[in-house]
Amino acid sequence: MSADSEAETPKNQETKLELYLLQINVYRGEKLAAADLNGKSDPYCKIIGNKQFFKTKTIEKTLNPEWNEETQFCFLEPVKDIKFEVWDWDKLTKGDRIGNATLNVSEFFNPGHKEKKLLNFVCSFLWGGHGKKKGFEGALQLQDVKTGSIHVKVVGRFIKPSELEERILRLEGVTDKNAATILANKATIDSKTKENLDLKNINSNLVKNKGELLNTQKRLTGEINELAAANQQLTQENDQASADIESTRKNIEEKTMSQPMALLKWIDKKKELKNNELELEQARQRRSELESDNKTRQDDIEATKNQLKAKQKQIDELENELAKLKGQ
């Protein structure tokens, strides 16, 4: 035998992979046996087939549970039968079996080859197509109990080697396309994430500056209040001085002008009043300057607030765009 013939022999003898699929629907149970003292049960259903297993949810306190659940079993070789077991759930023990039924599914498949290696493949993807399907739908009477039945639907399907290879190639093509899309989306997400982080840092700095401006505004407001109180006190002192001057003037007028000392005192009082008026004017100028400075700072704070609103709007838009990209 030539070397070429020896190389071709394993390939020609390689067995083809075939899959045997079962789609199983467990609809409901009827007139099940009562396992609890209240005359009810907490039933659930187990499905067992060639080391594959499925369990429905538990329906509490009923003899006629509505499960309405489905599952798929995948086999690399034909399976003879599957078993349904109905159990009563109990939190303290493993529960009580309240019936079982066996369904022969060997006639649901066509004969085929056996495969030595297990292919990790998604049964739900394979279920579509045009392969031959056979099955059973109806009530199964439970054994080992006096009463009870379950309503099920079981459909078998045989996947031919040619159809399996075609579906594998199609799935690989879809996977490659999805991988390229995921990589492109990841690059976009990374870019938007970096931009979002930069904007968050800018926003953090703006918030910090806003806090400093608010502290400055608070300090200036305190100073303005102190100056206003001082100005009020000076006004009161000026009013009192004016009243004193007026009283002095009247006293001087009542007295004779021949009293030089009284005249000198009146002149001194008048000078003192002018000095007080000068101090009051200076205080008013200082107050005006502080009010102008405070208005400028208020304008700066308002501009900063507008900047913060604009940055926040940018952040919201970026986060919405990022959420859309993640959703894709």
* Residue 169 included in any domain: no
Q: Apex CA 144: angle with CA 139 and CA 150, to 5°? A: 20
Given a cut of 90, whether residue 66 has pLDDT beyond it is: yes
Max avg pLDDT among 98-102, 126-130, 269-273, 279-283: 98-102
What's this model's pTM, rounded to 2 decimal places? Answer: 0.45
Task: Note whether 224 and 295 are same-domain residues.
Answer: yes
* Residue 310 included in any domain: yes
Question: Tell me, what's the pLDDT at 33?
Answer: 95
Task: Note whether 135 and 208 are same-domain residues.
Answer: no
Question: Tell me, what's the pLDDT at 164?
Answer: 59
CA dihedral sign of residues 324, 325, 327, 328: positive
- The percent of residues above 90 in pLDDT, for the chain, comes to 28
155: β partners: 23, 135
Task: Note whether 138 and 75 are same-domain residues.
Answer: yes
Task: Note whether 112 and 209 are same-domain residues.
Answer: no
* Residue 171 included in any domain: no
* Residue 83 included in any domain: yes
Average pLDDT of the residues of the chain: 80
Domain extent, residue 107, equals: 3-159
Contact assessment for residue 208 and residue 304, using Cβ atoms and an 8 Å cutoff: no
Task: Note whether 305 and 205 are same-domain residues.
Answer: yes
* Over residues 247-260, mean pLDDT: 70
* Residue 311 included in any domain: yes
Task: Note whether 141 and 285 are same-domain residues.
Answer: no
Q: Which residues contact 286 (CB under 8 A, 6 or more apart)?
A: 227
* Residue 51 included in any domain: yes
Last residue of a domain, one of 144, 159, 174: 159
* Residue 321 included in any domain: yes
Last residue of a domain, one of 117, 143, 159: 159
* Over residues 68-91, mean pLDDT: 94
CA-CA distance, 239 to 154, in Å (whole number)?
A: 107
Domain count within the chain: 2
pLDDT, tens digit, for every residue of 289-303? 888 888 888 888 888
Given a cut of 70, whether residue 204 has pLDDT beyond it is: yes
* Over residues 252-267, mean pLDDT: 69
Question: Tell me, what's the pLDDT at 145?
Answer: 93
* Residue 166 included in any domain: no
Long-range own/partner contacts, residues 66-69 (CB < 8 A, 24 or more apart): 66/27, 66/28, 67/26, 67/27, 67/28, 67/29, 68/25, 68/26, 68/27, 68/28, 69/25, 69/26
The enclosing domain of 72 has a CATH number of 2.60.40.150
Task: Note whether 141 and 196 are same-domain residues.
Answer: no
Task: Note whether 16 and 53 are same-domain residues.
Answer: yes
Task: Note whether 292 and 188 are same-domain residues.
Answer: yes
Task: Note whether 313 and 215 are same-domain residues.
Answer: yes
Task: Note whether 96 and 34 are same-domain residues.
Answer: yes
Question: Tell me, what's the pLDDT at 178?
Answer: 66
Last residue of a domain, one of 103, 124, 159: 159
The order of strands in the sheet holding 96-104 is 52-55, 43-49, 81-88, 96-104
Task: Note whether 90 and 146 are same-domain residues.
Answer: yes
